[in-house]
Amino acid sequence: MLKARDGVPRVPVIPPLTSNRGGICLDLNENTAGCSSRVLSKLRGLTAADVSLYPERASAERAVAAHLGVSTEQLLLTNGVDEAIVVLSSCFLAPGDEAIYPVPTFPMYSVGACAAGATTVEVPAGRDFRFPAEQMLAAVTPRTRMMAIANPNNPTGALVPRAMLVRLLEAAPDAAMLVDEAYYEFCGESMLDELPRYSNLFVARTFSKAYGLAALRAGCLVGAPEHMELVRRLAPPFSVNGVALACLPEALADREFVDGCVANVRRERARLEAELSKYGVRTWPSHANFILADLGAQHAAFAVELEKEGIYVRDRGGDPACAGCVRISVGTPAEMDRLYAALPGALQRIGWRP
Ligand SMILES: Cc1ncc(COP(=O)(O)O)c(C=O)c1O
């Protein structure tokens, strides 16, 4: 039996998908409304050559760069933000280096750092889940080579003020700072316009959330051209598949679809917060397409009870950084109605007391 090198996580950081995803999937922050009909038309029109030839990403890269208002030298399309994280980490982290990120957060930052053999420095947020700004600053050392910040954060939905991100960029000029804007569309706050001022800044965006293309696997990383040139050397040349590349321009062109989904999330997010508060369930203000709810000791039982009704939510309560919490994605109005119909029974069966 081969032995993995030190630093390889003992357990997979990303849990497997629920075995039955036929129900109402409010567990992975996807767009349950689907995707643009323009994307579906494109998929139906694909030819054998679209499938049999290696994909060429330059033209989709031009379309995404134009959409974001950056140059193609600044942008790399990736197999989701997941790949962007791993490639960026492998470019700037080596054994002995430190990667800092707040917890709780998206687990791929730890995967990227571990894959590069670096040391992870986890900075806990308090129970209000506000960004631990001073603690992040205090964690910076001469070994800090990377910082990763999801903005808004997953699983909390919290947003970091721009001034704070700028302080961090300035405190660690020799560290690559990734601002992961996977949920950008739901909040409208971006650091893209700071790129000309800070060459250590990298911004990631995904097409998995508001655009509804999670299964196609497309995201991007944007940074200073001289640094992106290095990152590109480590990116597998065909990691973004041809089907995704063919669909991206269509997805970008359908503004109406994305705007409609974002408007729905904003409306339904407020309704979800209000519904949970009716039962005395604590939630935290979210700027993304999900809400974190405190179910205390009954977090796992709550998720199981909803699952019995075909509704999947993400139990994060076993993670000490968000003990007792369950993350609920915002779905379509009809899906949310099903959730609200199931809530009182589920809460009663777990013996919920606020
Ligand atoms: C903060 C954050 N970044 C990145 C991702 C993954 O994005 P992608 O599907 O583009 O790999 C997620 C997915 O949940 C996320 O929450």
CA distance linking residue 4 with residue 9, whole number of Å: 9
Judged on CB neighbours under 10 Å (0-12, 13-18, 19+), 216 is buried
Judged against a pLDDT cut of 90, whether residue 3 lies above it is answered with no
- Counting from 1 in the atom list of ligand 1, the atom nearest the Cα of 29 is 14
pLDDT digits (tens, 9 = 90+) for 268-327: 999 999 999 999 999 999 999 999 999 999 999 999 999 999 999 999 999 889 999 999
The pair of three-digit structure tokens given for residue 296, joined into one six-digit string? 């205390």
Judged against a pLDDT cut of 60, whether residue 43 lies above it is answered with yes
Number of neighbouring beta carbons within 10 Å of residue 120? 20
- Counting from 1 in the atom list of ligand 1, the atom nearest the Cα of 106 is 1
- Asked if 285 and 158 count as a contact pair (C-beta separation under 8 A), the reply is yes
Angle at 155 between CA 39 and CA 161, to 5 degrees: 95
How remote is the CA of residue 105 from the centroid of ligand 1, in Å?
Answer: 11
CA distance linking residue 16 with residue 12, whole number of Å: 9
CA of 142: how far to CAs of 201, 268, 285, 341, in Å?
18, 45, 35, 54
Express as a percent the part of the chain with pLDDT over 90.
92
- CB burial readout 327-337, b (16+ within 10 A) else e: bbbbbbeebbe
What are the two backbone dihedrals, phi and then psi, of residue 132, each rounded to the nearest 5 degrees?
-80, 70
pLDDT at res. 6: 83
* 290 CB within 6 A, ligand 1: no
* 154 CB within 6 A, ligand 1: yes
Number of neighbouring beta carbons within 10 Å of residue 282? 15
- Closest residue by Cα to atom 3, ligand 1, is 182
pLDDT at res. 129: 96
Per-residue pLDDT band for 10 (boundaries 50, 70, 90) equals confident
* 150 CB within 6 A, ligand 1: yes
The pair of three-digit structure tokens given for residue 249, joined into one six-digit string? 């321009």
How remote is the CA of residue 182 from the centroid of ligand 1, in Å?
Answer: 6
Per-residue pLDDT band for 18 (boundaries 50, 70, 90) equals low
97-115: average pLDDT: 96
* 81 CB within 6 A, ligand 1: yes
Please name the helix (run of DSSP H) or strand (run of DSSP E) that holds residue 77, with its range, or none.
Answer: strand 75-78
CA distance linking residue 211 with residue 191, whole number of Å: 20
Give, as one character, the DSSP assignment of residue 148: E
CA of 304: how far to CAs of 148, 197, 301, 339, in Å?
32, 48, 5, 13
Residue that wins the pLDDT comparison between 1 and 101? 101
* 139 CB within 6 A, ligand 1: no
The residues facing 290 across adjacent strands are 329
SS3 content of the chain, % helix, strand, coil (to 5): 40, 15, 40
DSSP result, 254-300: -HHHHHHHHHHHHHHHHHHHHHHHHTT-EE---SSSEEEEE-GGGHH
Q: How many helices (H) and strands (E) does the chain have?
A: 12, 12
Give, as one character, the DSSP assignment of residue 29: -
pTM above 0.85, yes or no: yes
pLDDT digits (tens, 9 = 90+) for 204-259: 999 999 999 999 999 999 999 999 999 999 999 999 999 999 999 999 999 999 99
